[in-house]
Amino acid sequence: METVATWAQRVKANIETVIFGKGEIIDRLLVALLCRGHVLLEDVPGVGKTILARAMAASLGCTMQRIQCTPDLMPSDVLGTSVYNQRTGDFEFRDGPVVTNLLLVDEINRATPRTQSALLEAMEERALTIEGERRPLPDPFIVLATENPIEFEGTFPLPEAQKDRFFLATRMGYPTEEAEIAIMESQRRMSHPVEDLTAVTDAATVRAMQEAAARVAVDEAAIDYILRLVGITRGDGRLALGASPRASRTLYRGAQARAALAGRAAAERSDVAALAPAVLWKRIVVRPEQAFRGITEELAIAGLLAEAEGGGGPDKLGGPDVRNGPNGVGGAAAREGAEQR
């Protein structure tokens, strides 16, 4: 059988024909896909979030739907509704856009809490309950939800408990100069290059790769590191909210997938450290007084990782300068987020 690493290389190479310079982001999406998890993309408009989702769906040979969230979006607009058929005299259920393999939810924070809850319930249960009848969603099923971090008027921020239901959160970030040149030159045509992408795998193979990734071993050092890291978040005085057991499980599963992508038989401590910023980013909350001092979640995570590695204490923010965010976003958005807090 094809290995996960070989399969992932084919998928990634196909996506990279239209998404330039974002190999790390694609790897994170593949990790989430292998773990049957959902992804929250927080970034400014126009950096390629929609194109990334389209490219991934086309490469996987899966169906894709897009929801543009607005305050008047109703749960039935997402889940589906029963429509009366005058010819038969019966009500017939018509699927909403959530019935797909890959669902792009643009600006999820513009939907009302009621609609957000309906969507998040479908994400967690992987099924819909309509008029007392349970309807399973397609398999695989992954949600890519986006948030705009620079505009807050008319939005309904996701509660912390709902953010925790996303497998990981990341940013696209601005492209490098070389990548931006490639973007411009690739679009000297009437249609977008993403429309030319063809599938390099299928849904059945995706499910097989998910099962293979779940069988990857995790060494004791990696498990100890996960426990130490989440334990530090729960006792850190800078944080109002530490990481939950769901974060531990996510780091464990994510490390398995990352090792599988690299062709290794066992996940290591380095796999946990590499995924920790994206996994913890929306699962911890900095205390208001610390945020006032300019301590963002990104800076706090850098300090937590340094402490877990033995390189810093609880009152020292170790690690590199991450004012531009742990996921490659431009500094302005990260600083503005701190100011909003």
pLDDT for res 154: 64
Give the separation between CA 170 and CA 27, rounded to whole angstroms.
Answer: 11
Question: What per-residue confidence (pLDDT) applies to 335?
Answer: 38
Region(s) of the chain under CATH 1.10.8.80: 216-340
Per residue in 130-150, pLDDT tens? 877 888 999 999 999 988 777
Q: According to CATH, where is 3.40.50.300 located in the chain?
A: 4-206
Across the range 212-229, mean pLDDT stands at 95
**CATH number assigned to the domain with residue range 216-340, chosen from the 4 options 1.10.10.10, 1.10.8.80, 3.40.50.2300, 3.40.50.720:** 1.10.8.80
Q: Is the pLDDT of residue 254 over 50?
A: yes
pLDDT category at 341 given cuts 50, 70, 90 is very low
Q: Is the pLDDT of residue 259 over 90?
A: yes
Please name which of 103, 62, 245 lies closest in space to residue 95, comparing C-alpha atoms. Answer: 103
User: Which pLDDT score, from 0 to 100, does residue 134 have?
Assistant: 87
Beta bridge partners of 285: 241
Point out which residues pair with 84 in neighbouring strands. 91
What is the pLDDT, as a whole number, of residue 312?
A: 44
Residues 154-208: tens digit of each pLDDT: 678 888 778 888 999 999 889 999 999 999 998 888 888 899 999 999 999 999 9
**What are the structure tokens assigned to 159, written together?**
């509660």
CA dihedral 195, 196, 197, 202 (to 10 degrees): 90
pLDDT digits (tens, 9 = 90+) for 25-67: 999 999 999 999 999 998 888 888 889 999 999 999 999 999 9
242 vs 148: which has the higher pLDDT: 242
CATH topology of domain 4-206: Rossmann fold (3.40.50)
CA distance 281 to 326: 8
DSSP code of 22? -
The candidate with the shortest Cα–Cα distance to 213, out of 260, 274, 275, 270, is: 260
| pLDDT > 50? residue 328 | no
Residue 234 has pLDDT above 70, yes or no: yes
- Give the per-residue pLDDT at 251: 97
Rounded to an integer, the average pLDDT of 83-98 is 86
pLDDT band at 153 (very low <50, low <70, confident <90, very high): low
**DSSP string computed for 98-135:** TSSSEEEEETGGGS-HHHHHHHHHHHHHSEEEETTEEE
Which pair of structure tokens corresponds to residue 300? 């706090």
Q: What is the mean pLDDT of the chain?
A: 86
